[in-house]
Amino acid sequence: MSQRPLILVTNDDGILAPGILALAEAVAPLGDVVVCAPETERSGSSHAITLHSHLRVDEVRPGWHRVNGTPVDCVYLASLHLCERRPALVVSGVNPGYNLGSDVFYSGTVGGAAEGFIRGASAMAVSVHARESPRVAIPVVRTLARMLLAQPSLSLLNVNIPWISHSAPPPEGPPEVLAEGIPIVVTRLGARPYVEQVERRQDPRGMAYFWIGGPPRDAGEHEGEDTWAVKRGFVSVTPLVLDITAPDLTPWQQMFAGTTVQVDPRGDE
């Protein structure tokens, strides 16, 4: 058995997406790489897992598997069945577009990484500016992956890489790219509101159907947030935890103090 760490690569854009090729290339020098990704686009699938229908796996080439499921399905199957040993690192991406702020609750890219963390591996979700090539992520991913593999404790990171190409400036203006390299900044999640939008349409048979979700809107940002970092040309690294309990339970303890509920075991009101 190989002594190199096993690295699992996944995404939510499908196994043919350019980002997953860049990701596999980034980590190839660091360990034995297995790729397991959805057969089709599964963006916005969050932490969805398939429990009520079957899953099929095809090995499209040695070490590359496609699954008719979500990123979480892919990581679960690969970690427990497809890989000869448990992954030491799970890397998800490269997503073409940021996953900032509340995006982490919707993102299949983050969902895949979080499932890897649940399965006992360090993990990171990697996203780039929507107009950026995923290949700019290669040195960032390789640097961070090497550091995670060297740490005894497990980490779950959400990584966002700004517009750093010199071919054209980003819509919000040129980033502050430093000559000695792009700074990596540890951040917290910022605000990422979207236009609330429901568009009703009608099909040729007169039946209504809907498109939901609008573009992101500017809510401002504060120093130290992920939204603040990428706008200034920094690589944003946000450590995530699975415990989303409110940090201070005192208001709710006070609210419900002494409260009891009478419950009829027969289910009657």
Side-chain half-sphere CA neighbours of 53 within 13 A: 8
Q: Which residues contact 168 (CB under 8 A, 6 or more apart)?
A: 131
Please indicate if the annotation marks 32 as binding a ligand.
Answer: no
Please indicate if the annotation marks 103 as binding a ligand.
Answer: no
Give the amino acid at 74.
C
Task: Work out whether strand 6-10 and strand 89-96 pair parallel, antiparallel, or are unpaired.
Answer: parallel
Taking alpha carbons only, the member of 132, 130, 139, 157 closest to residue 23 is 139
DSSP one-letter string for 90-116: EEEEEEES---TTHHHH-HHHHHHHHH
What's the Cα-to-Cα distance from 175 to each of 119, 127, 162, rounded to whole Å? 37, 17, 8
Please indicate if the annotation marks 95 as binding a ligand.
Answer: yes
Binding residue positions: 12-13, 43, 95
Binding residue positions for a divalent metal cation: 12-13, 43, 95
